Structure 1
Amino acid sequence: MSHLSRRGLLCAALAVSAMLFGPGTALAQTKLKVAAIYTVPVEQQWVSRIHKALNAAKTRGEIDYVFSENVTNADYERVMRQYAEQGNQFIVGEAFAVEAAARKVAKDYPKTSFLLGSSGKPQAPNFSVFDNYIQEPAYLSGMIAAGVSKSGHIGMVGGYPIPEVNRLMHAFMEGAKEINPKVKFTVSFIGSWFDPPKAKEAAFAMIDKGADVLYAERFGVSDAAKEKGKLAIGNVIDTQPQYPDTVVASALWNMEPTINAALAKVKAGKFTPEDYGVFSTMKYKGSELAPLGTFEKKIPADIVAKVKAKEKAIADGKFVVKVVETEPKSN
């Protein structure tokens, strides 16, 4: 057997490596570098769902994931650029208050894929948008709210009257009106995405006016309901475990379908500007009505039957929840 030169040994080693691992470099580098930028703490409802989905991909070994929370609007562009400069291939965030700056960064880094929460349109070549289109379970939760309200008066506390919030509130209100056409709504916005004390105070004011069910679009509302012995409807996450005698039902947002669809395209080199909103609908398992849990036997049986029938009608495409994005008002 002839003596192999060093060069021959190196070639043989590379050949074995190629057979074992396929083309390209070491396996560790097949993980996508992903960064997320959040303007609020990761425990805030909306952001927590994105964080959960990205952490799930990290746990599966698909991505390396870093994030920044509590980033001010003024600092958002700088953080985006920093993550792009560091070689992150996929950047996730929320552009609602920083649309112009976020889109400018995306243009400057055309080889980086961006997926941001936005009320605007996708932008070529690399800026996709998403939003939590969970109006279907919001409608169902509205039906439940009207079904358990004794006063026929529902209080609704929101962050800001932007399309993403407005459409969920309108869907909730329409669901409630299906059960009780005379239902009264008191609507208030606190001007913050994360100010539980302020949301709590707004809820107390509604309870004083006669509301016995509260739509908790923000943290703090369920605390007020609990203290006053009233009921609450959750949004985006299920907080019934924390409020077993207060939170009747919740419209859940599952971000995994959106994140997984985008990651697959980035990996395949096929990421293009798209609107990922559809992945938040019930059809894609992007949203659902939370299990009734502790309230399973407390909600009138006829209301539960109506909700289940409506849920099936939505799933079968026989009922479409209207998307209304104007600011909801008290009546």
Structure 2
Amino acid sequence: MRDRHFLSQTGLISRRGLLQRGLVAAAATGVASLPLRAFGQEPLSVAGIYTVPVEQQWVSRIHIAALAAKEAGQISYTFSENTANTDYPRVMREYAESGVKLIVGEIFGVEQEAREVVLDYPDTAFLLGSSLPADPEYPNLAVFDNYIQDASYLSGIIAGAMTETGKIGMVGGFPIPEVNRLMHAFMAGVKETRPDAEFQVSFIGSWFDPPKAKETAFAMIEGGTDLLYAERFGVSDAAQEKGILAIGNVIDTQAEYPDTVVASAIWHFEPTLQAALANIAAGTFKADDYGLFSFMKEGGCSLAPLGTFDGKVPQGALDLVAEKEAAIKAGSFVVEIDDTEPTSV
């Protein structure tokens, strides 16, 4: 099963190309060395169910990790994208009925309905993005989230050093924990190098509406913002058109915006997926929270290379980034996780 409702928004084709380059880049940084399946052992059947196109930042990271595991011979992989929340339980059932052994995806908008499906298929493992904790009453459902606050904090340090006015605009999808914590971490990082920074925060009420995100960003620029936090697609387009800087989120879009995107906090889903595959192989998969595998010390997130901005970021900021990154990986410094809704300050 593979639902493809191609969108007409400008840039979707290039973003699919960006996704493929992301897979190549992931392989170059170690995904290609994933353990191959044992001789004679069939790949584990995996299905992905996504409510947005696979180009969307968050989902793309899951998709890339699954493609890499497929290339390594660990899994077979099929997926459905643009699945409406109202259809999500039905698609879950169809995949489970087909014999798929692991279903990955995100159930933020269909939490309870998804759990009802999980109970009907105890022999299927479910690894799903969720705002709720793991629950032993659903023993075959493990949850995860993108806890990449470590990388977001580091990107904030760079942003604080690059803004000239100290006015920073932040455009997000929805004010939910998985977005809020990244924004708060970014803001904390900014304060390290620009203590007097001011933030304008806005949410567009959509996970994939580049035109609305762009319009919101334009309004912020008109209000004096000279650097944007691009939690959604469309924000960097506005920054590029107006000649200001942007900080990326979850994926690296520096190649697409070489004069705009200074740095990006990158999410690596590979550690999360590999942990799940190992537990399934060992027969130990259960109701767990896999969120910790997104932490920097677990290899779940990183700061993207500066690319064309190499040599343009003040050395003092880079030194602080290196110091904080080492402390995070050593466990001597912990970036605060704040899931409350951020406000303009």
Q: RMSD across aligned C-alpha pairs, in angstroms? A: 1.0
After TM superposition, the structure 1 = structure 2 runs for residues 1-331 of structure 1, keeping only pairs within 5 Å, are 27=40, 30-123=42-135, 124-331=138-345
Counterpart secondary structure, 2:152:
helix
Code of the aligned partner of 1:62: Q
206-215 or 298-307: which moved more? 298-307
309-318 or 204-213: which moved more? 309-318
Q: Post-superposition, which runs of at least 4 consecutive aligned residues in structure 1 deviate over 4 A?
A: none
158-167 or 124-133: which moved more? 124-133
Code of the aligned partner of 2:281: K
- Structure 2: any 5+ residue segments left out of the alignment? 1-38
Asked if the contact 1:32/1:267 (under 8 Å) is kept, the reply is no
Code of the aligned partner of 1:262: A
Code of the aligned partner of 2:236: S
The Cα shift of 1:302 comes to 1.1
The Cα shift of 1:293 comes to 1.5
Q: Distance in 1 between matches of 2:149 and 2:168?
A: 18
The Cα shift of 1:135 comes to 0.1
The Cα shift of 1:220 comes to 0.3
58-67 or 161-170: which moved more? 58-67
Q: Distance in 1 between matches of 2:294 and 2:320?
A: 23
81-90 or 115-124: which moved more? 115-124
The Cα shift of 1:268 comes to 2.1
- Structure 1: any 5+ residue segments left out of the alignment? 1-25
The Cα shift of 1:310 comes to 1.3
Q: Distance in 1 between matches of 2:327 and 2:224?
A: 33
Identity of aligned residues (%): 65
The Cα shift of 1:138 comes to 0.2
- What is the TM-score when the length of structure 1 is the normalising length? 0.91
Code of the aligned partner of 1:89: K
Code of the aligned partner of 2:127: L
Asked if the contact 2:297/2:330 (under 8 Å) is kept, the reply is no
Q: Distance in 2 between matches of 1:219 and 1:70?
A: 16
Q: Distance in 2 between matches of 1:45 and 1:198?
A: 16
